Amino acid sequence: MSRRPSPSSRKVIPIKRVECEPLTRCDLQYDLLRNIFSDTHAVFTNPWPTSSDTPGAKLTFRNLYIKTILNSTKATKAFREKLSELDIFAEDFAMLALLVNVGRINTTMSFFPEMKTAIRSYHPVPALQRSSGNLQDAPRIKHMLKAVTVEGESTPPSSIPADILTRLNSGHVPPTTVSNLIFGLANHSSSIGHLHLPDDVDFIDLFMRTDLSSESRARAFLWLCFNYLESAAPSKEDDYDNDVIANPFGDPRRDGKPSFVHLGPEEAALENVDPPSEIQLAEKLIKQRTGLVQAQQSKDKDKQTVASSASGSVIGDADDTPGSVGEEIGALSQAKGKRKRENPPTVKNPRTTTKEKKSTPAVTDKMPKGRKQKATKNAAAIDPNVPVEDATTSGRGNTRRRVMNIQNQYPHHQSQVPSSSDHQFPAESERGPNHRYAPYQRGHTSLRQTSDIYQTARSRRPVQPRSFLQHAWLKVTTVDPLIDSDDDDDEHARHEYMQRLRVVAGILGTPFSDAGQPPPSPQQPTIQSDPNHQTQYV
């Protein structure tokens, strides 16, 4: 005769509910859980005895299951303390954990309203929330149950029911933890029902069939736990019947095996009824969850507003939150710097005539492109009409820049350079300490400004010995070959500087001597400077 398939094989075992939908007593089969945890038969061995326990004392299923949770390596110290102090919370949590243990509670469910993740759904459980304890979520509960081991073993034994019976018959009592046993019974639901349960009932049907009384299903569940943890029922092949301990949860009318009481629709409707207090509690928890979700959505919206404002182009669009204005200023500075690199500004000298513009490239047409641009920029930087910060930030100058500046100041004498023989140096009191002057005039404002620039550059640059490679690299990269002439004691370097001065003087048509400064030309106006730096032409 073929066995009729169990109704559970045509159903989805986990409870399916949407966000914020409460789990009722009918969903939990609360009367079944209450009968399991209210049973008073202390027949289970304590796997974790302590010195304070009575030797050989047995435990009820309720105490055994709570002790199993307490001995999990995933249970925190604070959680253990709460379970030990609050009996009501410990029992409620153990009932919920049992539903996770058999697979009725899916790992996508959570049971505390502060839950923020979107991969789980929140569900009030008013029947199991008689206290203010946190019921956590299904994945944590499952990890907690799997992280329990028998004393003296590092890993749980096999969860296959046949292996558990073999270990039990070999003298290991209990052969495994109760949580590991229930995982194994749920994974082999059909075979367990075929071996031990009547009326074509599978193991998972004990938590789903409403046409069977809750009390009879609870006794069948406890009978299976005792059979695999304490004493196996004898089979036809066994010859040690005298050593078998009678299962206290069996029906004497069926030779100690479990039996069920069938219910009609009217009788089944009287079980697992939600009282009004639990309905009100569910509504309260749903409102609490809704308020927390709305508050979280407001915070997320504010964060998105601040982030979008910080990435915008107008500073006033951002909220007055710390850091938002600074972030926008930094973004604007970056954008401005990028535009400046793409389109470098050109400084125009309004005093420059068409003839002078044509003469400037004549001096720099043989320069490399990079140096030509820098020379042009520096030439504009030393002009008195340009702001001072543009001139001081130019850093190094070069000889060609001085030439172009002098040509601009003396358009009628572009081929001659003002002589420095009549230049009057300032008094000793006006000089700075250890200050040396280059052989160039300081009478004119632009030349004096250029000298100040050189003085600033020398004061910022430390003087230190240079190797041959450093010296060669400096000569290659230095735009102005005379900027270090006053600080360098190398005779070879001085000789090179004098050669460059001779070339520059030759370009300007001015006589030059290695022994001293170039003599003034008869056609050349001589510049004299009074102490007030007023330029006079003689």
pLDDT tens by residue, 477-532: 765 555 544 554 556 667 777 888 888 888 888 776 655 454 554 444 444 545 55
Q: How far apart are CA 62 and CA 298, in angstroms?
A: 44
Residue 387 has what pLDDT?
45
Residue with tokens 């009824």: 273
Both structure tokens of 446? 């632009």
Residue 289 has what pLDDT?
93
3-state secondary structure 118-143: CCCEECCCHHHCCCCCCCCEHHHHHH
Q: Which residues contact 78 (CB under 8 A, 6 or more apart)?
A: none
CB 174 within 8 A of CB 229: yes
Residue 117 has what pLDDT?
83
Reference 74, options 16, 152, 142; nearest CA is 142
Strands 121-122 and 109-110: parallel
Residue 51 has what pLDDT?
84
CB 67 within 8 A of CB 114: no
Q: How far apart are CA 48 and CA 45, in angstroms?
A: 9
What residue ranges of the chain have pLDDT lower than 70?
1-11, 235-243, 311-466, 478-493, 512-538
Q: How far apart are CA 373 and CA 203, in angstroms?
A: 88
pLDDT tens by residue, 96-130: 999 999 999 999 999 988 888 888 999 999 999 99
Cα end-to-end distance, the chain, whole Å: 136
Residue 43 has what pLDDT?
96
Helix axes 369-381, 399-409, angle to 10 degrees: 50
